[in-house]
Structure 1
Amino acid sequence: MKLALFDLDHTLLPLDSDYAWGDFVVTLGWRAAEAQTHANDYFYEQYKAGTLDIHEYIRFSVDALREHGVAAADAAHRRFMQEVIGPAIRPAARELVQRHQAAGDQVIIVTATNEFVTRPIAQAFGVSELIAIDLERDAAGNPTGAIRGTPSFREGKVARVEQWLAARGLDWSRVEHSTFYSDSINDLPLLDKVHEPVATNPDARLTAIAAERGWRILNLFE
């Protein structure tokens, strides 16, 4: 097996889908603009600094979904895809994914954004395998605010890929070649694990690490 692993936000997308969804709930009238923007910015700065409490963030990010229910959330997400995500998908990103698929690689999107936000985005890229933060849900299918299983965040991304492999009777030793594309220092554990780490649209910190370690640097949206 050859693995082509992709982070999503600021890697395949030129935006953060989690942050964009947080803005979108204001557009829907589900949250007051000032309070939502303040909280969204607070968590996003923690994420960039590598200090985010992922459990606290998930409680915040799914609160509006929990209040409005599955049907309203799904309808809202269809609008989100049409108005925000669809226009942001760039040909260069789609073509990169398709090149790996054409080469016979197993393509997986591995993201720290939750599965509600990201499943339709993965489908828009033609990717069926998604490792995202799984939301715990109640009997009606509404998010509870908790995470189900291991969050695909930092070291958790390595653990979740290993779980994906184990479910297929595989482990890293059975992977002939693995590539991981990411923009974020939060993804250093998985970048260190694969055969070919690619710093993709990296910020200054990841650019410096990539240069020091001899990793390929890809600026996908230039």
Structure 2
Amino acid sequence: MTPTHNLALFDLDNTLLAGDSDHEWPRFLIRRGLLDEAHFARQNDHFYAQYQAGTLDIQEFLAFQLAPLARFSRAELDALHAEYLEQHIRPIIPARARELLAAHQAAGDVVMIITATNRFITGPIARELGVEHLIAVELEEGADGRFTGRPTGIPSFQHGKIQRLEAWLAERGETLGSYPKSFFYSDSRNDLPLLERVTDPVAVDPDPTLRAIAEARGWPVISLRG
């Protein structure tokens, strides 16, 4: 059966959040004295600059970003995440982001967050935002249930977002074309592949490259901040 409702896809970092959850997590661990500040802050900033420039090597970044997760038990990580969510994430959730999500949900749309950040970090954030569906980087687990510090499957980054979304839709017996309208809200040039696939791309507080492209193509440019 063809859906009568729409599909609303949202990037997370610098879109629904006025900041980057992947950037904030190491900062939180450094503040707690759990990571070496000199090394991780420098490397974190290095990769973040690559991401903004559209030159990020996702596998190299994930090897760096996920390694600290292997140091802790799942119970320890859950306790740390609760603290991180309260201190670093809730303060950067704009009211307008919650309102936009609520508007799509009230319209009966299928709402999803699709992000290049890993599921450990983003799962609780999606729940905080009241979003049921999430595509994120998946994490490998060892026999004891601890994270190994390695990703698994296709990273949901650039064209990988399309691959992961198409697989998710196929499990539902759908395609993007099944929906009357498909929205994608993003801030980043890295999301151009998926922005070009949906019927209604929306640039949200975009980086300079995406802003220029959106303006040239007549895509809506909005802000969820302020």
Alignment TM-score, normalising by the size of structure 2? 0.95
In structure 2, give the amino acid aligned to 1:27: R
> Are 1:57 and 2:61 counterparts?
yes
In structure 2, give the amino acid aligned to 1:16: D
In structure 1, give the amino acid aligned to 2:178: R
Q: Following the alignment from structure 1 to structure 2, what is the Cα–Cα distance between the partners of residues 28 and 55?
A: 27
SS at match of 1:9: helix
SS at match of 1:64: helix
Instruction: Indicate conservation of the 8 Å contact 1:55/1:146, yes or no.
Output: no
Aligned residue pairs, count:
222
Counterpart of 1:128 (choices 126, 132, 138) is 132
Instruction: Indicate conservation of the 8 Å contact 1:138/1:144, yes or no.
Output: yes
Alignment TM-score, normalising by the size of structure 1? 0.97
Q: Which residue of 2 aligns with 1:37?
A: 41
After superposition, where does 1:169-188 map in structure 2 within 5 Å? 169-188=173-192
Q: Following the alignment from structure 1 to structure 2, what is the Cα–Cα distance between the partners of residues 116 and 198?
A: 27
Q: Which residue of 2 aligns with 1:161?
A: 165
Counterpart of 1:89 (choices 84, 90, 93) is 93
Instruction: Indicate conservation of the 8 Å contact 2:26/2:44, yes or no.
Output: yes
SS at match of 1:134: strand
SS at match of 2:100: helix
In structure 2, give the amino acid aligned to 1:91: A
Q: Which residue of 2 aligns with 1:196?
A: 200
Q: Following the alignment from structure 1 to structure 2, what is the Cα–Cα distance between the partners of residues 5 and 45?
A: 25
In structure 2, give the amino acid aligned to 1:67: R
Q: Which residue of 2 aligns with 1:109?
A: 113
- The structural deviation recorded for 1:27 is 1.5
Q: Which residue of 1 aligns with 2:18?
A: 14
Q: Which residue of 1 aligns with 2:148?
A: 144
- The structural deviation recorded for 1:146 is 2.4
Q: Which runs of 5+ in 2 are unaligned?
A: none
- The structural deviation recorded for 1:53 is 1.3
Q: Following the alignment from structure 1 to structure 2, what is the Cα–Cα distance between the partners of residues 67 and 145?
A: 9
Q: Which residue of 2 aligns with 1:100?
A: 104
Q: Following the alignment from structure 1 to structure 2, what is the Cα–Cα distance between the partners of residues 99 and 197?
A: 17
CA RMSD of aligned residues (A): 1.0
Q: Following the alignment from structure 2 to structure 1, what is the Cα–Cα distance between the partners of residues 39 and 50?
A: 17
Instruction: Indicate conservation of the 8 Å contact 2:203/2:214, yes or no.
Output: yes
Q: Which runs of 5+ in 1 are unaligned?
A: none
Q: Which residue of 2 aligns with 1:69?
A: 73
Quick check: 155-164 or 62-71, which moved more? 62-71
Q: Following the alignment from structure 1 to structure 2, what is the Cα–Cα distance between the partners of residues 30 and 140?
A: 22
Instruction: Indicate conservation of the 8 Å contact 2:94/2:224, yes or no.
Output: no
Q: Percent identity?
A: 49
- The structural deviation recorded for 1:142 is 2.0
Residues 115-166 of structure 1: per-residue CA shift (max 9 Å, x gap): 0000000000000100000111111222223221111000000111111100
In structure 1, give the amino acid aligned to 2:42: H
- Runs of 4+ aligned residues of structure 1 deviating over 4 Å after TM superposition are none
SS at match of 1:193: coil
